[in-house]
Amino acid sequence: MIVETNAPLQPHNTFGIVARARNMVRVRGAEDVHALLAHPELGAEPKFVLGGGSNIVLTGDVKAVVLKVEVAGRRVLEDGPKATIVEFGAGENWHEAVTWTMEQGLGGLENLALIPGTVGASPVQNIGAYGIELQDRFESLDAIDLVTGREFTLDATQCAFGYRDSVFKHSPARGSDFGLAGRALILRVRMRLPKPWKPVLGYIDLQRKMAETGVQAPTARQIYDWVCAIRSAKLPDPRVIGNAGSFFKNPTVTPEQCQDIIGREPNIVHYPMPDGSVKLAAGWLIDACGWKGKSVGQAGVYEKQALVLVNRGGATGGEVVTLARAIQTSVYERFGIRLEPEPVVV
């Protein structure tokens, strides 16, 4: 185990914010975590697990020991009659993992192409796009307890997936075992790719692609290419413009609240959900408040998608947070809706 001191974190967060870790350890397997826990000084220190850094806003140097997850590996674990199970090391890049499944001729993850971040971060967020969420393809994961060093496996139920939510985003409450935030590091993730493969084409942008191309029965590879094209057209590439994807979750309201808002804002974008609630497009709400293209210092609202905050060059975490708060205030004042951020502010 090598401990890097005063390690730069700018290359490890997709916002590209400048910050440093007092101590950083690269985790390539469980043995690195065991070595850290046995370390005379750092073993008992607070720890911070960092994947691809695609869902964090750094507001200063990180005092906790940063565990940079670099567990590698991709393989077909099982090829059964009902599904193929694939397994990835948590440090694998998510999009490269999806691309690898396409190269193996395995469909199932194509709608989730081009999402920034690592495989290990995908269950934490329960990433989702174009009609599929990770939980729809999730089989199980292996993780390690950062206090005891014990390794364990969780299935989908134990992960408690919700919309951009899981057990890994909750801190253990007093008197309860639920919540693994800061407690666990994900080592490997297994995905179930159902047989026969079925396309998921309900999302409006994919319907548009079908109409444009005249392709009514696309292959998984075709959908992968469409999703890459759609995302590239409206979402900034973090390698070019720092960002953390959608900055806020899409809020849900009751049908009564929605009717009330429609009365005042007839054009509001809304989707009825299976449980009777109504989901509103946060991007539309922010756009309607006139935020597209606006900035606070070097932190800005992306011109093509108001839900994405960007680093225009040298933004601080404080500027991002100030901009996010100003957006929350104006959306609340106009619509009475509180927007909840997706990324974790560190």
Query: Between residues 181 and 281, which has the closer beta carbon with respect to ligand EPU?
Result: 281
Q: Treating both helix axes as pointing N-terminal to C-terminal, what angle do 204-213 and 220-234 enclose, rounded to 10 degrees?
A: 110
Of 48, 130, 161, 224, the one binding ligand EPU by CB under 6 A: 130
Of 246, 253, 299, 300, the one binding ligand EPU by CB under 6 A: 246
* Pairing assessment for the beta strands 138-145 and 151-155 based on DSSP bridges: antiparallel
Distant-in-sequence, close-in-space partners of 260: CB < 8 Å, separation ≥ 6:
none
Q: How far is the CB of 131 from ligand EPU (least distance, A)?
A: 7
Of 306, 324, 327, 339, the one binding ligand EPU by CB under 6 A: 306
Q: What angle (nearest 5°) sits at the alpha carbon of residue 84, between those of residues 95 and 76?
A: 65
Q: Is 294 in the site for ligand EPU (CB under 6 A)?
A: no
Q: How far is the CB of 22 from ligand EPU (least distance, A)?
A: 29
Q: Is 246 a catalytic residue?
A: yes
Per the DSSP assignment, residues forming a β-bridge with 57 are 345
Of 52, 123, 245, 251, the one binding ligand EPU by CB under 6 A: 245
Q: How far is the CB of 14 from ligand EPU (least distance, A)?
A: 10
Closest CA to 51 of 111, 122, 102, 105: 122
Query: Between residues 34 and 198, which has the closer beta carbon with respect to ligand EPU?
Result: 198
Distant-in-sequence, close-in-space partners of 331: CB < 8 Å, separation ≥ 6:
282, 285, 286, 289, 337, 338, 339
Closest CA to 137 of 98, 198, 190: 190
Closest CA to 109 of 99, 118, 122, 123: 99
The contact mask relative to ligand EPU for 250-269 (x = CB under 6 A, - = no) is x------------------x
Q: Is 307 in the site for ligand EPU (CB under 6 A)?
A: yes
Q: Is 264 a catalytic residue?
A: no
- Token look-up 């609240």 returns 257
Catalytic-role residue among 137, 164, 183, 188: 164
Per the DSSP assignment, residues forming a β-bridge with 279 are 252, 271
Query: Between residues 33 and 248, which has the closer beta carbon with respect to ligand EPU?
Result: 248
Query: Between residues 64 and 281, which has the closer beta carbon with respect to ligand EPU?
Result: 281
> Is the CB of residue 162 less than 8 Å from the CB of residue 134?
no
Residues that are catalytic: 164, 246, 342
Q: Where does this chain bind ligand EPU (CB under 6 A)?
A: 129-130, 245-246, 249-250, 269, 281, 283-284, 287, 292, 305-307, 342
